[in-house]
Structure 1
Amino acid sequence: MFDTSIYKNRRAALRKKIQSGIILLLGNNEAPANYPDNTYVYRQDSTFLYFFGHSLPGLAGVIDVDANKDYFFGDDVTMDDIIWMGPQPSIKELGMQVGVRNSYSLKQLRKMIAEAVSKGRKIHFIPPYRFDHYLMIEELTGIRSSVVRQYASVELIKAIVALRSAKEPCEIEELDKAAHIGYLMHTTAMKMCKPGVKEQLISGALDGIASQYGSMVSFPTILTQHGETMHNHGHEALLEKGKLMLVDAGAESNTNYCSDNTRTIPVGGKYTPRQKEVYELVLACHDLALELAKPGITYQSVHLAVCKRLALGLKDMGLMKGNTDDAVAAGAHALFLPHGLGHMMGLDVHDMENLGQTYVGYDDEVRPSGQFGLASLRMGRKLQEGFVITDEPGCYFIPALIDKWRATGLHKDFLNYDAIDQYKDFGGIRIEDDILITKNGSRFLGTERIPAGVREIEEFMKNN
């Protein structure tokens, strides 16, 4: 947790952005894995964490905009709880730790919301993503769970996005800590990447590092020799010399701030000439994004510049043809890059995505596209100092997609399908780093850089 003043200031700032009514923020409950007492690893709701700080189940917070008061709700532990858990702070003590003087039981929460509803007061809540929250909002407000998302407060969503987008110094410090854990994870993967090693062994080691130095992984680890599959969570194969191992992994600090990095490394420690050529093209795209990203520039424009750099490189390799600008405008390059350049990051690895991506990554000036590839760009709006975003270009050769496009002749004026067919056994390459937008540009998070260049990676793997 941060200093008490941080949470008080955040709630005060939120109150100023909401005209009237009550803001209801629900903390997460524990979720049973296969029976009630055996639960999944607990993770608090990020919005609740941001404003009320506590990473414990069964809590809720209320900010009364009209009365200028904050409330903290939860039930004190029973003697049965103490037997199994030991002594625990009271709800009143927990509330005081985040600057809330008014702390009550969950029964009182139901009474407060019922009274507010009876008086016709506006109840602001964010879109739920857990079914118990759907049911609780229905119980509290009377809104049927089947339609509750339709009543989520857009005013509240926009206010939260405005507050959480630019990171405070205390948050940047935590993100740097998460980046350090990410460094340990990825350099460990490089050390273990040897022929005959099972993917699961490496994946498990990375997950263990995340738990040793922080709270957990920031998302399920992607570790695969089939990098052409964007989110490949299968870890059954043995590593084979000459193949590429793509590792997309990150950690959460103990205060739940995230890291998210990707490296694509050669099994056996050395890239083949063909792998090196594609890898260095992706690295050039990655470095171009880092060079262009700064306050006042839309990330959509950075994404498109990267797409043009990728298309130009593929043209030099004989895989694309024609005018590069026209090819990117038509979306032909998306055969090789079907995802966006990056996303916001903070308390969530895809920061605030539960609030609605159009509110987080876009605004009235920059709107999402419907074009294949560009439609998957999560972050397009104008960058500001304090934003933390990912820079993650890639180049993938997806056999099913290649076959589908070729069968219909899609973008045949820009794609050399005969040459592309020779890469259907290649896999995919992605390089990803987390960057902080600074006053005049950007910087990597963390004090250590995960090896990224071909020579750096080969030397690291040789010596470790």
Structure 2
Amino acid sequence: MFSSDTYITRRRYLKHNISEGLIVLLGNVDVPMNYTDNTYYFRQDSSFLYFFGLDFQRLAGIIDADSGDEIIFGDDVSIEDIIWMGPQVSLKEKAARVGITKTDSYKNLQMIIDKAIRSGRKIHFLPPYRAENKLLLSDLFGISPSKLASYSSLELIKAIVSLRSVKEEQEITEIRKACAVGYQMHVTAMKMAKAGVQEQTIAGTIEGIANSGGGMVSFPVILSQNGETLHNHDHSQMLKDGRLLLVDAGAEIGSHYASDFTRTVPVSGKFTQKQREIYEIVLAANNRGRELTKPGTTYLSVHLAAAEVIASGLKDLGLMKGDVKEAVRNGAHALFMPHGLGHMLGLDVHDMEDLGQIYVGYDDETRPVDQFGTAYVRMGRKLQSGFVITNEPGIYFIPALIEKWKAEKINTDFINFDRLSGYLDFGGIRLEDDILVTENGSEIIGDRIPVTPDEIEDLMKL
């Protein structure tokens, strides 16, 4: 939790950016794993955290853009709760810590909403992503859960995206802490990546490091020798010499700010010549992406420049052919990198995407491209100082995709399909850093996790 002034200022900016009406922000509640009292780890809603800072269950906040009133709705615990949970701070005390002087019982939220509806006032709420809040909003507004998203406030979404996109210095400090935990996770995974070790052993170990950092993993760990599967959560294999291990993992610390890194290493610590050749191309694309990242540049253009580095490198190896720029314009590179260069990072690992990725990753000038691969670019908009984004190019040899393109004669002017037969068991390589956009350029947040082939081989000797 930051100072009360932080939350007071954020709410003031939000009121200023909303024309009129009542802003309703819901916190999250406990979600049962298999019966009511056995719950998943509680995770507060990020927008509620951003404006109210209270990391507790069953809360809601109302901000009146017209009168300026701010209310926290919730309930104090009963003696039965105290028996199981211990002494608890009162709701009024909690609210005071974030600059809120007025609190009310949670059950009275409905009364306030009903009054606003009868008065014909505009009411703003965000698109819900949890079933519990969908049902609550359905009850509050009498709207079918399936139609809630269409009734959510675009004005509120855009106002929140505008505020949360540019990170405050104190937020960057928290992200640096999350990156420091992520660094330890990845260095540990590198040292453990030896033949005969179970993937799950490494995944469990680095998840423990995230937990010991005061929080949890920022998303389920992706760790596999089958790195060609972009989001591979299967950790059932035993590591084998000659394979590559891709690890995509990050930490969410106690303040809920996140990190997100990817490294790919050779099992037992020595790249083959073929692996090193592909790895160097991905590293060059990563470095080029960071070099081009600066205020005023669209991240879509940075993505396409990184794609040209990949196409050029693969052409040098004889896997692609023809004019590099023309190949990228035709989307030929997407056979090898069918995803975007990165995404926003902050309180969420894919920051604010619950509000609608189109509003987070694009703006009025830069719109999505309807082309395989490039259509998956999550972050394309013009960059601003204070943005925190990921930079994660990759090269993957996906047998099913290669066979499909070959059979359908897709981009045959730019791809040497016959040469690809020797790479069908290669796997995939992705290299991801977390980047802060600065006034004049960009910087990698925290110490860079070992990334050159020599750095990785030296570390894995230890």
Alpha-carbon deviations, 1:406-460, whole Å to 9, x = none?
A: 00111111110000121101000000000000011111112x2210000000001
Q: Is it true that 1:138 corresponds to 2:138 in the alignment?
A: yes
1:458 matches 2:436: no
Query: Per-residue displacement from partner, 1:195-232 (whole Å, max 9, x unpaired)?
Result: 10000000000100000013100000000000000000
Deviations 1:107-128, CA, capped at 9 Å, x for gaps: 1211111111111111100100
Amino acid across the alignment from 1:96 = A
1:176-187 pair list within 5 angstroms: 176-187=176-187
Aligned position for 2:383: 383
Secondary structure of 1:418's counterpart equals: helix
Partner in structure 2 of residue 155 of structure 1: 155
Contact 1:307–1:333, Cα closer than 8 Å, also in 2: yes
Structure-2 separation of matches of 1:317 and 1:449: 28
Kindly state the Cα deviation for residue 264 of structure 1 after the two structures are TM-superposed: 0.1
- Partner AA of 1:269 in structure 2: G
The separation in 1 between residues aligned to 2:233 and 2:38, in whole angstroms, is 24
Shift of 1:370: 1.2
**d(CA) in 2 for partners of 1:439, 1:101:** 38
1:188 is aligned to: 188
- Residue type of the alignment partner of 1:239: L
Contact 1:181 1:214 in 2 (8 A): no
TM-score by length of 1: 0.99
1:276 aligns with 2:276: yes
- What letter corresponds to residue 145 of structure 2 in structure 1? S
Over the matched positions of the two proteins, sequence identity in percent amounts to 59
Q: CA deviation at 1:80?
A: 0.5
* 1:106 paired residue number: 106
User: Could you tell me how far apart the structure 2 residues matched to 1:400 and 1:377 are?
Assistant: 22
Quick one: which amino acid aligns to residue 431 of structure 2? I
Matched, 1:413 2:413: yes
> Equivalent residue for 1:47?
47
Preserved contact between residue 178 and residue 214 of structure 1 (Cα < 8 Å): no
Aligned residue type for 2:143: I
| Amino acid across the alignment from 1:361 | G
Q: Tell me which amino acid in the other structure corresponds to 1:199.
A: E
Deviates more, 1:130-139 or 1:270-279: 130-139
1:86-127 CA-to-partner distances (Å, cap 9, x unmatched) read 111111111111100011111121111111111111110010
Aligned to 2:358: 358
- Which structure 2 residue ranges, 5 or more long, are not aligned? none
Q: Is 2:315 aligned against 1:315?
A: yes
Aligned equivalent of 1:258: 258
1:55 is displaced (CA, Å) by 1.2
The superposition leaves residues 35-94 of structure 1 with CA deviations (integer Å, 9 ceiling, x where unpaired) of 001111111100000001011110111101111111111111011101100111111111
Q: Partners in 2 of 1:215 and 1:54 — Cα distance?
A: 16
Q: What SS is found at the alignment partner of 1:223?
A: strand
Contact 1:44–1:55 (CA under 8 A) maintained in structure 2 = yes
Measured after TM superposition, the shift of residue 263 of structure 1 is 0.2
Q: What is the CA–CA distance in structure 2 between the aligned matches of 1:128 and 1:254, rounded to whole Å? A: 23
CA distance in 2, matches of 1:149, 1:450: 40
The one-letter code sitting in structure 2 at the alignment partner of 1:8 is I
- Offset at 1:146? 2.0
Deviations 1:367-398 (A, max 9, x none): 01110000100000000000000000000000
2:229 maps to 229
Following superposition of structure 1 onto structure 2, how do residues 33-182 of structure 1 map, counting pairs within 5 Å?
Answer: 33-182=33-182
1:10 aligned partner = 10
How far apart are the structure 1 equivalents of 2:448 and 2:210? 17
Residues in 2 aligned to 1:202 and 1:398: alpha-carbon distance in whole angstroms: 24
Following TM superposition, by how much is the alpha carbon of 1:144 offset from its aligned partner in structure 2, in angstroms? 2.0
Alpha-carbon separation, structure 1, partners of 2:138 and 2:67 = 24
1:422 counterpart SS class: helix
1:206 corresponds in structure 2 to: 206
299-308 vs 105-114, greater mean Cα deviation: 105-114
Q: Deviations over 1:248-297 (max 9, x none)?
A: 00001110000000000010100000000000000000000010000000
Contact 1:335–1:401 under 8 Å retained in 2:
yes
Cα deviation per residue 1:150-175 (whole Å; 9 max; x = unaligned)?
A: 00100000000000000000000000
Q: Offset at 1:132?
A: 1.1
In 2, Cα distance between equivalents of 1:101 and 1:13: 18
User: Residue type matched to 2:364 in 1?
Assistant: D
Match of 1:368 in 2: 368
After TM superposition, list the pairs within 5 Å mapping 1:434-445 onto structure 2: 434-445=434-445
Give the Cα–Cα distance (whole angstroms) in 2 for the partners of residues 43 and 315 of structure 1: 46
> Are the equivalent residues in 2 in contact too, given 1:23–1:63 (CA < 8 A)?
yes
Residue 440 of structure 2: SS of its match in structure 1?
coil
Q: Deviating runs (4+, > 4 A) in structure 1?
A: none
Distance (Å, rounded) in 2 between the aligned partners of 1:214 and 1:408: 50
Q: Residue 268 of structure 2 aligns to a residue in which SS?
A: coil
SS in 2 for 1:245: strand
Query: What is the one-letter code of the residue matched to 2:18?
Result: I
CA contact (8 A) 1:320 1:416 kept: yes
Q: Contact (CA 8 Å) 1:299, 1:379: kept in 2 or not? A: yes
- Give unmatched runs, 5+ long, in structure 1: none
Quick one: which amino acid aligns to residue 138 of structure 2? E
Distance 1:39 1:121 in 2: 37
C-alpha distance in 2, partners of 1:114/1:326? 58
Q: Distance in 2 between matches of 1:160 and 1:428?
A: 36
Aligned residues: 462
The 1-side partners of 2:264 and 2:31 are apart by 34
